[in-house]
Structure 1
Amino acid sequence: MKTLTKEMQAAITPAMALDLLKEGNKRFVNNLKVNRNLLQQANETSDGQHPFAVILSCIDSRTSVELIFDQGLGDVFSVRIAGTIINEDILGSMEFGCKVAGSKIIVVLGHTKCGAVRGACDHVEMGNLTALLSKIQPAVYDEKTETENRHSGNDEFVEKVSAINVKRTVHAIIERSPILKEMIEAGEIEVIGGIHDITTGAVSFYDDTLMIGSLSFQADVKPHYSHSPSALARAD
């Protein structure tokens, strides 16, 4: 598998970027990872990097995006924080990844059985974790279908909150970053949310969160604050 160059990155469209991630996850699920010389990739990226994707995911030890999407060194920017929430620093990192470094897609990736989401469902307060979990709380309140046992012991409630949290985060990126919103409207990048099943390894993307061109966001969530072309071949 060749290391991404600036020219290869430029040839990838947002739709192709999503295909590359989907294909990589299929390889991961089927235990068919691509053979890479990581040391060679380290050497080849020492003078510059050209990742095709920015992926926001949780710090959970089971959710390394390079592994679950079968990507190598220099392929993706990985932004990790408990609960897959955003703040100014994360938004700035995304703006750098797309506007400056040329990435073509932003993925907001939640996962099943998320400890941070469970903590938010239980309204946990503990040191600095209190402020972090408060950013997930709106998703807890937005979940209306579970009227009983609205706590971490209700697995179905937790997973519904996780999905809402991902969709809220996607929407909040557009609400809070004029730079990324402009790039989406111009068709330069796309943003999409998804969930990683830590049991099977499979990633499911939420089609109703896909934002590209006209910002066709369809998920019925409130903001925090107010195609398939063939994937680019990178064979040896």
Structure 2
Amino acid sequence: MKTLTKELQQAISPAQALELLIEGNKRFVNNLKVNRNLLQQANETSDGQHPFAVILSCIDSRTSAELIFDQGLGDVFSVRIAGNILNEDILGSMEFGCKVAGSKIIVVLGHTKCGAVKGACDHVEMGNLTSLLTKIRPAVDDETTVISQRNSSNAEFVEKVSAINVKRTVKAIMERSPILKEMIEAGQIGIVGGTHDITTGVVEFYKDTQIFN
């Protein structure tokens, strides 16, 4: 697998970037990972990096973007925070990744059985975690199909809230970053949300969050 150069990166369209991630996830699920010389990639990217994707995911130890999408050094910008939430620093990181470094797609990736989502469902308050979980609470409130047992003991409720949280984040990126919105509308980059099943390894992308012009 070739190390990404600026020329290779620029030749990738947003749709092709998504396909690269889909294909990589299939390899991961089938345990057919590409043989890479990571030390060589480290050397080849030492003077510059040209990742094709910016992936916002949870800090969960089972949801490493490089692993579940079978990518190497220099392939993706990985932004990780509990509950894959959004803040100004993360938006700034995305703007750098796309506007400055040339990435072609933004992925907001949730995962099943997310502890942060469960904490928000249970109204957990603990130190600085309280502020973080507050950012997920709107997704809890937006989930209106589950009437009873609206807490972490209800697996269906947790997963529905998790999906809403991802979709809200995709929307918020468009609303809060004029730079990224302009790039998306111009077809320079794409954006999509999805969920990683920590049991099967499969990533499901949400069609209703996919924006490619």
Same fold? TM cut 0.5? yes
TM-score, normalisation: structure 2: 1.00
Question: In the alignment, what sits opposite 2:16?
Answer: 16
Question: In the alignment, what sits opposite 1:57?
Answer: 57
SS at 1:106 equivalent: strand
Question: How far is 1:211 from its partner?
Answer: 1.6
SS at 1:107 equivalent: strand
TM-score, normalisation: structure 1: 0.90
Question: In the alignment, what sits opposite 2:106?
Answer: 106
SS at 2:36 equivalent: coil
CA RMSD across the alignment: 0.4
Task: Provide structure 1 residue ranges, at least 5 long, that are not aligned to the other structure.
Answer: 214-236
Question: In the alignment, what sits opposite 1:192?
Answer: 192
Q: Quote the Cα distance in structure 1 between the aligned partners of 2:211 and 2:4.
A: 25
SS at 2:199 equivalent: coil
Question: In the alignment, what sits opposite 1:174?
Answer: 174
Q: Quote the Cα distance in structure 1 between the aligned partners of 2:55 and 2:22.
A: 13
Residues 79-129 of structure 1 show CA distances to partners (whole Å, capped at 9, x for unaligned) of 000000000000000000000000000000000000000000000000000
Question: In the alignment, what sits opposite 1:159?
Answer: 159
Query: Post-superposition, which runs of at least 4 consecutive aligned residues in structure 1 deviate over 2 A?
Result: none
Q: Quote the Cα distance in structure 2 between the aligned partners of 1:129 and 1:24.
A: 33
Question: In the alignment, what sits opposite 2:80?
Answer: 80
Amino acid paired to 1:32: L
Q: Quote the Cα distance in structure 2 between the aligned partners of 1:75 and 1:159.
A: 29
Amino acid paired to 1:133: L
Q: Quote the Cα distance in structure 1 between the aligned partners of 2:60 and 2:78.
A: 13
SS at 1:73 equivalent: coil
Question: How far is 1:28 from its partner?
Answer: 0.1
Identity within the alignment, %: 83
Amino acid paired to 2:65: V
Contact 2:15 2:212 in 1 (8 A): no
Determine which structure has the larger helix proportion and give its number. 2
Task: Give the number of aligned pairs.
Answer: 213
SS at 2:210 equivalent: strand
Aligned: 1:44 with 2:38: no
Residues 25-72 of structure 1 show CA distances to partners (whole Å, capped at 9, x for unaligned) of 000000000000000000000000000000000000000000000000
Residues 125-147 of structure 1 show CA distances to partners (whole Å, capped at 9, x for unaligned) of 00000000000000000000000
Task: Provide structure 2 residue ranges, at least 5 long, that are not aligned to the other structure.
Answer: none
Question: In the alignment, what sits opposite 1:145?
Answer: 145
Q: Quote the Cα distance in structure 1 between the aligned partners of 2:31 and 2:210.
A: 28
Q: Quote the Cα distance in structure 2 between the aligned partners of 1:112 and 1:120.
A: 14
